[in-house]
């Protein structure tokens, strides 16, 4: 049986300016985590309210449609932001030369 990994880093010591913090989520990962939690919470609330089967199915269908629309909107915004960033990098590179 393997020995468990022991952390050799002093977790109480502040990070140096040149040492990147690897424990943080990226902004995309943070958004995905938030959306996943929100969807799970909404589904839990929908499933625990006293309603009939057809009402639950209708509620879940509506939630799924709203989530799909929101995901499409966020995807469009992400594409626009990426294109703006890419354009800025190209302009900066052209000015650098």
Tens-digit pLDDT string for the chain (97 aa):
566 656 565 656 665 555 555 555 566 677 778 888 888 888 788 778 787 878 878 888 888 898 889 888 888 888 888 888 888 888 888 887 6
Query: Which residues neighbour 42 within 8 Å (Cβ) at sequence distance 6 or greater?
Result: 63
Look up the pTM and report it.
0.45
Q: Given this model, what pLDDT does residue 27 score?
A: 67
With tokens 């502040």, the residue in question is 14
Eight-state DSSP code of residue 25: P
Query: Which residues neighbour 56 within 8 Å (Cβ) at sequence distance 6 or greater?
Result: 46, 47
Q: Given this model, what pLDDT does residue 80 score?
A: 86
User: Measured between alpha carbons, how far is 53 from 81 in angstroms, rounded to an integer?
Assistant: 42
Q: Given this model, what pLDDT does residue 77 score?
A: 86
Q: Given this model, what pLDDT does residue 89 score?
A: 85
Distances (CA, A) of 78 to 31, 55, 69, 85, 92: 12, 34, 14, 10, 21
């Amino acid at each position: 049986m393997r020995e468990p990994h022991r952390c050799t880093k002093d977790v109480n010591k502040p990070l140096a300016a040149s040492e990147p913090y690897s424990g943080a989520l990226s902004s995309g990962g943070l958004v995905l985590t938030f959306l996943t939690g929100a969807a799970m919470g909404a589904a839990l609330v929908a499933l625990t309210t006293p309603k009939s089967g057809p009402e639950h199915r209708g509620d879940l269908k509506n939630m799924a449609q709203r989530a799909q629309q929101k995901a499409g909107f966020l995807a469009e915004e992400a594409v626009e932001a990426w294109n703006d960033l890419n354009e800025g990098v190209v302009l900066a590179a052209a000015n650098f030369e």
